[in-house]
Amino acid sequence: MFDQTAIYSISQKEFEKFQELIYQKCGISLADSKRSMLLSRLVRRVRTLQMDNLTTYYNYVTRVSNKAELETMLDLVSTNKTFFFREIHHFEFLKKEIVPALGKSKHLRIWSAACSTGEEPYSIAMTLIDGISKINQWKIKIYASDLSTEALRHAKEGIYSKSVVQDIPEKLVKICLLKGTGENEKQIKLKDHVRSMVTFMHHNLMDQKPPFEALLDVIFCRNVLIYFDKRTQEKLISKFFQHLKPGGFLLIGHSESLQYIKNQLTYILPTVYQKQ
């Protein structure tokens, strides 16, 4: 019988081991103040595996043969809190500035680079449905990637609590959502024509290449840089620069800035940068 009480604490040595492992594998830099947060996210998994402490779990998760468990652990550590049309000014910029500029070519490629449970890429899709009058004449690709396999599973389903309707512009609710009935009355589902616009894929931002070849018109990577140290931030921004078309845009979170990060992008508006 394993000792359940032992897993409700994490020593400084254990924390530092996980801190380094997480940084190496996905670039997330956990501050020392996140020690209790890390414990709270790992403890249930350690109990499920019937292990009596975090050192045993660390040894288990770092075995070469346990790649699946490593992904599970990174899922637990990743933060997946988001909502539809978060920081709505970005979607207004997409509709009013980017789409008109591409009207002649009618080609648009967008990457939601940390899509979590899908609210961001689906918000992009709904923005385009709203902003392009003859959208069937356009060639549109929305790539959505995330580190968390569990978040991606949720995103692909396209099913959310009915309460999210309050975050979606009223005119898009009828066009883009199906309301659940019976035992599903507390849920909504994105309609097929919205879901079909988004291609979801598993991707670690620390990998050298995203899982697609095409250059992009827009990259959404919002509220992600804050989890990385400066060196990792610069590495990531350089990658984004390489995968943007000339004239393409990078959109970052409202609490983020490239002001002190070495980069080749041009500031356009707060949280909006362009590859000139």
Give the residue numbers annotated as catalytic, written as ranges. Answer: 41, 146
Contacts of 3 (CB under 8 A, 6+ apart): 52
What token pair was written down for 166?
A: 């309050």
Contacts of 159 (CB under 8 A, 6+ apart): 187, 188, 189
Query: Do the Cβ atoms of 213 and 243 come closer than 8 Å?
Result: no
Separation CA 224–CA 181 (nearest Å): 36
Question: CA quadruple 241, 244, 249, 254: dihedral positive or negative?
Answer: negative
User: What's the burial of 72, exposed, middle or buried (CB within 10 Å: 0-12/13-18/19+)?
Assistant: middle
What token pair was written down for 130?
A: 């709203």
